Amino acid sequence: NHTADRPYPPHRRQKALLVAASSGWENYRHQADVYNMYRILRSEGYAAEDIIVVAEDDIARNDRNPEPGVVRVETDGPNVYEGLHIDYRPSQISSSDISDILCGRSSERLPRVVEADSTTNVLLFWSGHGSPYQLRWLDTHDGWRTGMARQCFEDLHAARGYRKLLCLFETCYSGSVA
């Protein structure tokens, strides 16, 4: 057991980046799953300011939504949209901005980023479409590509930008990136 020999710094903080990389009513589940993950993290003790949400926010008030302002992941389940704050919309940022957000590189355009260090457990949850060697971004052929993800993770590791890092990808072909 190699992990028993690896000392971890003390756990002091937890941060999350939740990404719904698609838009439109036909992609309802991607945003709903991100909103549900937000609800789960909040119920598990994450502070709202420790969770960054990227979602287009175009399903809760969509003309096709039979319950305006409500998003559910299961019939008769809770409204996972309630109390949610969305920080960025995919139509207003690029897939490469995800690396800057995750690696803590803030700018005037990206004021909210994951501010983490070696005592911070970090969660990245991504829901959307995928294709070989990339997580898709909206309906474009531009996405968060394998090389971009690899460089981001190498940068995080070199900067000791996490204690433990868990990445959950809910896309087709996500195994090509994970």
- pLDDT tens for each residue of 13-36: 999 999 999 999 999 999 999 999
Whether 129 is a known active-site residue: answer: yes
CB 85, CB 53: distance < 8 Å: yes
Whether 167 is a known active-site residue: answer: no
| Stronger pLDDT, 141 or 101, i.e. the higher one | 101
Q: Does the pLDDT value for residue 145 go beyond 90?
A: yes
Q: Summarize the confidence of residues 111-140 as an average pLDDT.
A: 94
Using DSSP's 3-state secondary structure scheme, residue 176 falls into: helix
Give the distance from CA 116 to its chain's centroid: 15
Residue of 85, 141, 157, 172 marked active site: 172
CB 85, CB 48: distance < 8 Å: yes
Instruction: Tell me what pLDDT residue 178 has.
Output: 43
Find the length of the chain. Answer: 178
Instruction: Tell me what pLDDT residue 8 has.
Output: 84
Beta-strand relationship, 120-127 and 13-20: parallel
pLDDT in tens, 81-122: 999 999 999 999 999 999 999 999 999 999 999 999 999 999
pLDDT in tens, 39-78: 999 999 999 999 999 999 999 999 999 999 999 999 999 9
Residue of 30, 103, 129, 152 marked active site: 129
Instruction: Tell me what pLDDT residue 84 has.
Output: 97
